[in-house]
């Protein structure tokens, strides 16, 4: 039986990355079956509830004021409009509704509307996730009280490469927010982006950070960089196409995340629209068990419902209808005693 470990060393993680691909996939698939149903995929919908005009300088992001992208800044959406979109997502078969705001952090004056949104979406029976930037302990408590299931805040990459991507907040700021979320009793969703020009060693550092947190994030999104024109990294990739992440290396990252954080949901997030069906299938084999459906992510295009249902049908995979009892039970066993 696989032991849940939080004492992974960088060397062990590097050794996993180095395994022959077939062996790595076999190990990841074996661990996957122990904790999850390998034929089931959780379908999630993303909605940008406040778009653009963000003061942070994340080099990948179309929503930063520093980016020369075509994204128009908007105000926070009305509560009712968000609830309408959540209802549509549920009708379209989504089980989880993730909401993102282009903020450095929410202002206290935003919190009442955010709380209403969480309550409303949850009342529809959807799993809720929000990503609003940095959170104070008090804001995290308010979200918990409202019933928020998950909070997403990515470490994005390894600690060494991080400062090449973002300068307006540091790695420790990210970890502090994750701790505030954990302390409030909200499930942690934290992952990052592969393909930003980082090295294998940076990807090792990225997985190492997450896999050695005191408790693993319950949810680990692995994004492939969506290169957006006008962003630092999008333009860099346009100039140096060879810097694009190799598909096999992307799948390796998913597999290593699955092996080191066996119980977590591993989410094949941004970047699927430029991935072949075969690469996506390898990601599922490597232990990814969640995707974003719909034709838009926050601002970037996504694969789209029709191609997703065709892919799942072709692979004989089905949509997860409720949290897997096996995983829920194993997670509960690991709850620290009160």
- The encoded tokens of residue 297 equal 């992510």
CB of 243 to ligand SF4, least distance (A): 20
138 Cα distance to chain centroid: 24
Q: Using CB under 6 A, which residues numbered 128 to 157 contact ligand SF4? A: 133
**Contacting positions for ligand DTB (CB under 6 A):** 46, 62, 98, 100, 131, 152, 154, 191, 221, 223, 226, 269-270, 297-300
The single-letter DSSP state of residue 275 is S
Q: Contacts with ligand SAM in 103-132 (CB under 6 A)?
A: 103, 131
CB-nearer residue toward ligand SF4: 197 or 287: 197
Q: Are 99 and 130 in contact (CB under 8 A)?
A: yes
Measured in degrees and rounded to the nearest 5, phi and psi for residue 64 equal -75, 145
Footprint of ligand SAM on residues 147-206 (CB under 6 A)? 153-154, 156, 192-193
Local structure of residue 109 (DSSP, 8 states)? G
**Residue with Cβ nearer ligand DTB (120 or 133):** 133
Cα 120 to Cα 47: distance, rounded to the nearest angstrom:
15
The smaller minimum CB distance to ligand SF4, of residues 134 and 281, is found at 134
- Which of 77/102 has CB closer to ligand SF4? 102
Are 209 and 9 in contact, with CB atoms under 8 Å apart? no
Q: How far apart are the first and last CA of the chain?
A: 26
Neighbours of 247 (CB within 10 A): 16
Nearer CB in complex with ligand SF4: 35/103: 103
Q: Is 2 helix (H, G, I), strand (E, B) or coil?
A: coil
Which run of H or of E encompasses 41?
strand 40-50
Choices 97-105, 106-114, 200-208, 260-268 (CB under 6 A): range interacting with ligand SAM: 97-105
Q: Rule CB under 6 A: say whether 308 interacts with ligand SF4.
A: no
Query: Under DSSP, is residue 141 helix (H, G, I), strand (E, B) or coil?
Result: helix
Instruction: Find out whether 193 and 223 touch, Cβ atoms under 8 Å.
Output: yes
Q: CB-wise, 8 or 162, nearer to ligand SF4?
A: 162
Among 28, 46, 49, 102, binds ligand SF4 (CB under 6 A): 102
Q: Cα(226)–Cα(169) distance, rounded to whole angstroms?
A: 22
Q: Which of 44, 49, 77, 102 binds ligand SAM (CB under 6 A)?
A: 102
Quote the CA–CA distance of 320 and 290 in Å, as a whole number: 9
Q: Does 61 interact with ligand SF4 (rule: CB under 6 A)?
A: yes
Q: Which of ligand DTB, ligand SAM, ligand SF4, none is residue 156 near (CB under 5 to 8 Å by kind)?
A: ligand SAM
**The tokens of 86 are what?**
């959540």
271 touches ligand SF4 (CB under 6 A): no
CA angle, 130 then 63 then 109, to 5° = 50
Active centre residues (catalytic): 54, 58, 61, 98, 129, 189, 267
Q: Which does residue 64 touch among ligand SAM, ligand DTB, ligand SF4, none (CB within 5 to 8 A, set by kind)?
A: ligand SF4
Pick from ligand SF4, ligand SAM, ligand DTB, none: which does 98 bind, CB < 5 to 8 A by kind? ligand DTB
> Which residue ranges make up the site for ligand SF4 (CB under 6 A)?
54, 56, 58, 61, 63-64, 102, 133
């Amino acid at each position: 039986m696989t032991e849940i470990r939080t004492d992974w060393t960088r060397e062990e993680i590097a050794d996993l990355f180095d395994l022959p691909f077939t062996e790595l996939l076999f190990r990841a698939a074996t661990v996957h079956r122990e904790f999850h149903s390998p034929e089931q995929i959780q379908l999630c919908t993303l909605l940008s509830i406040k778009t653009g005009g963000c003061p942070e300088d994340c080099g990948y992001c179309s929503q930063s004021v520093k980016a020369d992208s075509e994204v128009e800044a908007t105000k926070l959406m009305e509560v009712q409009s968000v609830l309408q979109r959540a209802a549509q997502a549920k009708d379209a078969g989504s089980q989880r509704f993730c909401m993102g705001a282009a903020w450095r952090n929410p202002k206290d004056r935003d919190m009442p509307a955010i709380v209403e949104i969480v309550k409303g979406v949850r009342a529809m029976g959807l799993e809720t996730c929000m990503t609003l930037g940095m959170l104070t302990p008090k804001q995290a408590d308010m979200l918990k009280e409202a019933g928020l299931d998950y909070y997403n805040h990515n470490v994005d990459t390894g600690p060494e490469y991080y400062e090449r991507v973002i300068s307006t907040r540091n790695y420790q700021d990210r970890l502090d927010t994750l701790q505030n979320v954990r302390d409030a009793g909200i499930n942690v969703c934290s992952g990052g982006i592969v393909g930003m020009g980082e090295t294998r060693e940076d990807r090792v550092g990225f997985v190492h950070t997450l896999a050695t947190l005191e408790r693993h994030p319950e949810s680990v999104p692995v994004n492939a960089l969506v290169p957006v024109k006008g962003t630092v990294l999008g333009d860099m990739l346009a100039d140096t196409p060879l810097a694009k992440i190799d598909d096999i290396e992307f799948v390796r990252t998913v597999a290593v995340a699955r092996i080191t954080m066996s119980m977590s949901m591993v989410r094949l997030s941004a970047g699927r629209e430029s991935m072949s069906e075969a690469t996506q299938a390898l990601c599922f084999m490597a232990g990814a068990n969640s995707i974003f459906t719909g034709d838009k992510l926050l601002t970037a295009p996504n694969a789209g419902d029709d191609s997703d249902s065709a892919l799942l049908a072709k692979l004989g995979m089905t949509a997860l209808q409720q949290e897997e009892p096996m995983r829920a039970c194993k997670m509960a066993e690991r709850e620290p005693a009160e």
